[in-house]
Structure 1
């Protein structure tokens, strides 16, 4: 990093600390990444959805974007709809539970049909299309993020649109 970039980064961090501002995306040069004022990665969730379940289990899909220079891991997911929410990967067309998913610095984690995803086992209720299911994503470094998954048609697949 050159001196100007270092000074700019220091100034931005000082403003965030003193003003309590979340400057994510506000700087014209965000290529050097941004962490929160506490040094934790700043993560954003998009494209979240759950296909309407047809059995007592369901999948959940979303993208977690990490615009910071600090990598993180998705370690678990909790939801009032199930006491057993797991994170799965698909390898060689077989689904298997994993302990965590990496979220690279300045990268993203895509949980999508046919790949890595969230599995809700033993649903307490079966949500219908148009409803929302609340979840909380837990990370190794970042604070938990609450997300509402819109329930879509059982066949919904954003890749096909």
Structure 2
């Protein structure tokens, strides 16, 4: 095999590994799941949904073989410092030309009745069902509990408006704070 063929294949692999997944006008970006303990019964996935189209869409369901049940969930403030996790009825709106963050402490994909532990470094196949874009298969990496913060850096660098999710990002560490924003 020629060097140029190997080099071209390597470049193509790098580009494909860093590209967001597109489905019609919907882009799924920065998807990750947090690793679980061997006895955990639940897990969660977080990601950014972006709608580049002119028509609103809605994430209405998710499914995966990694759990007996998969639901769209959110956290609601019940007052007195108590938060309750509940299923989202009617799905998650993804406005035309906008985005919706599925993140810790807010909207997320909940996996109940895990069939195996979520192990760092492995990947989980999840099917997302959109009202207009239809079914989209996403391969989501399982990361340690401290990874998966890249969307926070992007949200901060783009100075997204309050309410778009960036305010819920974990505080920057000193080493992250000192890194220049490109």
More helix by share: 2
How many residue pairs get aligned? The number is: 122
SS in 2 for 1:128: coil
Q: Show the counterpart of 2:27.
A: 44
Q: Does 1:116 align with 2:111?
A: no
- 1:49 and 1:41 mapped to 2: Cα distance? 21
Partner of 1:4: none
Cα shift at 1:127: 2.3
Q: TM-score, normalised by structure 1?
A: 0.71
Q: Distance in 2 between matches of 1:135 and 1:51?
A: 14
- Aligned match for 2:135, one of 127, 135, 144: 144
Identify the residue that residue 95 of structure 1 maps to in structure 2. 85
Indicate how the Cα distance of structure 1 residues 41 and 69 shifts in structure 2: closer, same or farther if over 3 A, else same: farther
TM (norm. structure 2) is 0.63
Q: Give the match for residue 75 of structure 1.
A: 60
- What stretches of structure 2 of length at least 5 have no aligned partner? 1-22, 78-82, 150-168, 171-175, 177-182
User: What is the CA distance between 1:75 and its match in structure 2?
Assistant: 0.4
Where do 4+ consecutive residues of structure 1 move more than 2 Å? 154-157
Alpha-carbon RMSD: 1.6
